[in-house]
Amino acid sequence: MGRGVQEQGIGRTTHPRLATGSDGHRRCWWGAATPDYARYHDTEWGFPVTDDRRLFEKLCLEGFQAGLSWLTILRKREHFRRAFAGFDIARLARFTPARVERLLKDPGIVRHRGKIEATIANARAARDLTAEFGSLAAYVWTFEPDPRTRPARMTWAALSRLGPCAESLALSKDLKRRGWRFVGPTTVYAFMQAMGLVNDHLEGCWVRDKAERARRRLVRPS
């Protein structure tokens, strides 16, 4: 399974498949864990994204999540945005070593030198990538898995067997080749789950059909 699901489920891989919230909606189990998760699950996770800034932000924040829970990062997300220039690729690519030292003193983010420096390096790599492909979205969406290779019904058993897919392995490998850091296959698959390149909401989750309709309506970037 992707780390995005496992971490957001707080590691409880044998937890009941769906949970019913106080509003009567049935959600993927992790979406009922906290109000923060419920909002994120219902409005963001699994819905397709083609905005470069959001795609870049998510790749960076998935890197910061390594070794932590997504809830930790989610609750710090607004502060991350302020600290990292709104994840504007061009601005972030110009961050200096002095800026790194200031960020290491910022209690509102995860103060990990390697991850901070990787985020800046990734901005520079993303700048080069967008010059080649026209946008980060145009590049990322070429790695969208063929829906025909996905389970017809996303049950818990089907999701448990998925893990990083061939496309996330390929995307991870290519990003590393281009100089990106903290973009291993599991991190990249969690990114794909969150950004709607796949729809891993479970069968019976009230959001699954909404996410799928959004995916069907999406005009893929080119």
The residue annotated as part of the active site, out of 7, 57, 62, 167, is: 62
Q: What does the block give as tokens for 63?
A: 């890197």
The residue annotated as part of the active site, out of 70, 139, 141, 189, is: 70
- Whether 92 contacts 84, CB under 8 Å: yes
Rounded Cα distance between 105 and 94, Å, is 19
Rounded Cα distance between 164 and 160, Å, is 11
Active site residue 62: yes
The residue annotated as part of the active site, out of 29, 30, 40, 45, is: 40
Residues annotated as catalytic (active site), given as ranges: 40, 62, 70
